[in-house]
Amino acid sequence: MPLYLIPGNHDIATSGHLQPYIANAGQPCYSFDRDRTHFVVLDASRWESSERLPSEQLDWLAADLKRAAKARYTFVFYHRPYWDGTTNAGKPDTLHKLFLRHGVDAVFAGHYHRYSTGTYDGIKYTVVGSSGGGAEPGPTGILYHHLLVEADSSGITMTP
């Protein structure tokens, strides 16, 4: 089974960590297609908010999502759940605006070491809980887990 890595704040903590990450894990920002589904991995390892993401990455993301407009589903993955302090709080979010414009279906992140999920403007946002680092159960009671995501003609289902 292929393994697709998503860099986190412990992987690329500073710009000095970028080249070793690339040498050992590959590009931190990339996309691919499988079975009419488009997958996007962003590098949110060093920035505290979506407003601080480099313009080059945002421009790449907009162009990538535009090219993938005919995908049945589009999933985006990045480490820090920026939407928690913005979209979830009714505040503007740079990424959420791009996701709405380009038909993103679901967004996944980690960082908080607890599971949570919500839907904003039709986009499913999910923070996947810890799979090894310290964790607290949070409101769902779920501690260590993985997430099964199924996407077919009837829609997207997620089962922690």
Q: At what angle do helices 94-101 and 55-67 cross, to 10 degrees?
A: 20
- Tell me, what's the pLDDT at 133? 65
- Tell me, what's the pLDDT at 112? 82
Other Cβ atoms within 10 Å of 144 Cβ, number: 13
Q: For the segment 123-160, what is each residue's pLDDT rounded down to a tens digit?
A: 999 998 766 666 666 666 666 678 899 999 999 999 88
Q: What angle do CA 64, 65, 66 make, to 5 degrees?
A: 90
The span from the first CA to the last CA of the chain, in angstroms, equals 20
- Tell me, what's the pLDDT at 147? 87
Do β-strands 37-41 and 106-109 pair in parallel, antiparallel, or remain unpaired? unpaired
- Tell me, what's the pLDDT at 132? 62
- Tell me, what's the pLDDT at 141? 67
| Ranges in the chain, pLDDT < 50 | none
- Tell me, what's the pLDDT at 97? 96
Cα separation values, 151 from 71, 72, 106, 155, 160, Å: 12, 9, 10, 6, 15
Q: What angle do CA 46, 52, 53 make, to 5 degrees?
A: 70
- Tell me, what's the pLDDT at 160? 84
